[in-house]
Amino acid sequence: MKSIEQYQKGIKRVLITQEEIRQAVKKAGRFIDSIYDGRPILLVSVLKGAYVFMADLSREITVPCEIAFMCVKSYFEGTSSSGTVNIVMDLDHDVSNYHVVIAEDIIDTGRTLKKLVEILKSRNPLSLHVVTLLDKPDRRVVEMKADMSLFVIPDHFVIGYGLDAAEYYRTLPYIAEYGGD
Q: What is the CATH number of the domain that holds 85?
A: 3.40.50.2020
Mean pLDDT of the chain: 91
Residue 177's DSSP bridge partners are: 13, 158
CA 8/CA 150 separation, integer angstroms = 26
User: Quick one: how far is CA 42 from the chain centroid?
Assistant: 15
Residue 172 lies in a domain: no
Residue 2 lies in a domain: no
Active-site residue (options: 56, 108, 135, 164)? 108
Residue 33 lies in a domain: yes
* pLDDT computed for residue 82 by the predictor: 54
- Range of 135's domain? 23-164
Q: How many domains does the structure of the chain reveal?
A: 1
Q: What phi and psi values does residue 122 have, to the nearest 5 degrees?
A: -65, -15
Please tell me the pTM assigned to this model.
0.90
How does residue 103 score in pLDDT terms, banded at 50, 70 and 90? very high
Q: What phi and psi values does residue 138 have, to the nearest 5 degrees?
A: -65, -20
Residue 147 lies in a domain: yes
Beta carbons within 8 Å of 3's beta carbon, 6+ residues apart: none
Per the annotation, the verdict on 108 as an active-site residue is yes
**Cβ 46 vs Cβ 104: under 8 Å:** yes
How does residue 181 score in pLDDT terms, banded at 50, 70 and 90? low
Query: ω before 73 within 30° of 0 (cis)?
Result: no
Task: Select the highest-mean-pLDDT range: 79-83, 87-91, 170-174.
Answer: 170-174
* pLDDT computed for residue 115 by the predictor: 87
